[in-house]
Amino acid sequence: MAAAAGVGLIAFASVASTQEPIAPRAVAQTGSRAVAQAQADVIHVNSCHVILIDKVTVAAARGGVLAIVKPEEGFEVKLDEQIAKIKDEVAAAQFATAQKTFENDIEIRFGQKSAELALVEFQRAMTANLAVPGTFPDIEIKRLKLAWERAVLQTENAEKEHDIAGSKRDEAGELLQTHVVESPLAGLVTKVYKRSGEAVREGDPIVDVVNSDRMRVSGYVPFKDISRLRLGDKVLVKLDIPDVEVPEEDQHFEGRITFISVAVQKVKPEVQVFAEVINRDGILRDGAVARMVVYPGKPFAPPNATTKREFPRRPKGEE
């Protein structure tokens, strides 16, 4: 009986013909010794729970009336795709005014020309006094120099005002952008809270978006085994639906340990761990029950060339 149970565990941890088995098939030991070695090399975690990682409620960044809400439940959206828009006529007009103000550089060009003329007049007066001393009195030389310096300072002030106008233009642009609601991740819209024409306040939810390309599997490892675990250790996960047999339970999903709790459960000496796995073809679902096999000391390797997806990237702002 022990040998039969162990062989079943080995079959679960193996990955069809492309995965290496838990224990080498070609062993000179007896079957029971091979099974014992295989069980010592891995950690089995039962009654795990599958949890969505990438789920966001997209909210309004400002109050107003929704001009459009594009997606419905079941729609797929892309990263940074516009999914809603708040009426922005006033903000658009403010941005247009700020843009025109920024584009107006007349004061800068006038100051530059004034400085050039004032410099020429000052230089001519200085040259004349070098040729014939006293042609221009000292007070006139000082006045001409002051006129030149004033023109230079006026030009600098105009340039500063131009920079301020640019900042105000940028501010108006950011304000205008707050009327646009974009999806922070690619995924599926699962709930729509607001429709076109409805009023929203800042922070009001508009839609829920989820991405199930990667899932979290939560389980509890006996305290006696926890010292063997490291972040990044490879895991294999299989669904384990109670009282139901479905083809999906034959599928395995690869991933890695991403969290090891620092606390021990009070009822049992167990430690909670999280694994992040690739949800191939979206088979794993939020709330499902699963079994997990952990390979201590064996880091997760990227999927081979036949895998449809690479390990999913984290959503925007999380990396």
Residue 260 within a domain: no
Residue 136 within a domain: yes
Whether the pLDDT of residue 32 is over 90: the answer is no
Q: How far is C-alpha 269 from the geometric centre of its chain's CA atoms?
A: 36
Residue 151 within a domain: yes
The confidence band for 39, taking pLDDT boundaries of 50, 70 and 90, is low
Element (H, E) at 153: helix 138-177
* CB distance 59 to 209 below 8 Å: no
The confidence band for 243, taking pLDDT boundaries of 50, 70 and 90, is confident
* CB distance 31 to 3 below 8 Å: yes
Whether the pLDDT of residue 17 is over 50: the answer is no
Give the range of the structural domain holding residue 96, as residue numbers without chain letter.
91-177
Residue 288 within a domain: no
Residues 281 and 270: their CA atoms lie apart, in Å, by 32
Q: Domains in the chain: how many in total?
A: 2
Structure tokens at 301: 């390797």
Cα separations in angstroms, 94 against 25, 83, 175: 73, 23, 9
3-state secondary structure of 122: helix
Residue 108 within a domain: yes
Whether the pLDDT of residue 37 is over 50: the answer is no
Q: Give me the pLDDT at residue 224, please.
A: 92
Q: Please state the length of the chain.
A: 319
Q: How does pLDDT run across 58-92, given as a tens digit for each residue?
A: 999 999 999 999 999 999 999 999 999 999 999 99
Residue 27 within a domain: yes
Domain closes at, from 161, 177, 193: 177
In 3D space, the residue among 293, 311, 274 whose CA is nearest the CA of residue 51 turns out to be 274
Rg (C-alpha) for the chain, rounded Å, is 35
Q: Which residue has the higher pLDDT, 223 or 27?
A: 223
Q: Which residue has the higher pLDDT, 25 or 189?
A: 189
Q: How does pLDDT run across 89-136, given as a tens digit for each residue?
A: 999 999 999 999 999 999 999 999 999 999 999 999 999 999 999 899
Percent over 90 (pLDDT), the chain: 75
Cα separations in angstroms, 140 against 114, 146, 267, 317: 18, 10, 96, 64
The confidence band for 28, taking pLDDT boundaries of 50, 70 and 90, is very low
Q: Give me the pLDDT at residue 2, please.
A: 40
Q: Between vectors from CA 255 to CA 211 and to CA 209, what angle results, nearest 5°?
A: 5
Q: Give me the pLDDT at residue 312, please.
A: 43
Mean pLDDT of 133-140: 92
Query: Same structural domain for residues 102 and 36?
Result: no
Q: Give me the pLDDT at residue 318, please.
A: 46
Tally helices (H) and strands (E) across the chain: 5, 12
Residue 261 within a domain: no
The confidence band for 245, taking pLDDT boundaries of 50, 70 and 90, is confident
Domain closes at, from 133, 150, 177: 177
Residue 144 within a domain: yes
